[in-house]
C-alpha cells in the first residue's frame, strides 16, 4: 500500500511539474510575441517597459523568464526563425 501511495504522489508531482513547464512555455511565447510587436514599432530601441506595457504585465515578470534585453532579443530572433522553419515545413519547403 505504501508503494502505491508513493507512486501516486510521484505521479502528482510529475503532473504539477509538467503543468508548470507548460505555463512557463506559454508565458515565454507571450513575451516573445510582445517583443516582436515592440520591435516592429520601435526597432531595437524598444524597452522592457514597452513590452510590459503592451502585454499588461510587470517588467519583473519578463525578467523571471529572460535574464536581460540581449537574451530576449536573441531568443526573439530564434523564435522568428523557428516559426519560419515550421511554416516552410508545413508547406513542404524543408524536408
Write the CA distances from 42 to 38, 47, 50, 82, integer angstroms. Answer: 6, 9, 9, 23
The pTM assigned to this predicted structure is 0.74
Quote the percentage of the chain above a pLDDT of 70. 74
Residue 87 — pLDDT band, cuts 50, 70, 90? confident
Q: pLDDT at residue 15 above 60?
A: no
Amino acid at each position: 500500500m505504501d508503494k502505491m501511495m508513493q507512486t501516486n504522489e510521484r505521479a502528482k508531482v510529475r503532473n504539477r511539474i509538467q503543468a508548470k513547464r507548460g505555463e512557463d512555455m506559454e508565458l515565454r511565447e507571450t513575451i516573445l510575441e510582445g517583443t516582436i510587436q515592440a520591435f516592429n514599432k520601435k526597432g531595437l530601441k524598444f524597452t522592457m517597459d514597452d513590452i510590459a506595457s503592451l502585454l499588461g504585465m510587470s517588467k519583473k515578470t519578463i525578467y523571471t523568464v529572460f535574464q536581460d534585453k540581449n537574451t530576449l532579443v536573441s531568443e526573439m530572433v530564434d523564435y522568428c526563425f523557428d516559426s519560419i522553419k515550421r511554416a516552410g515545413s508545413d508547406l513542404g519547403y524543408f524536408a
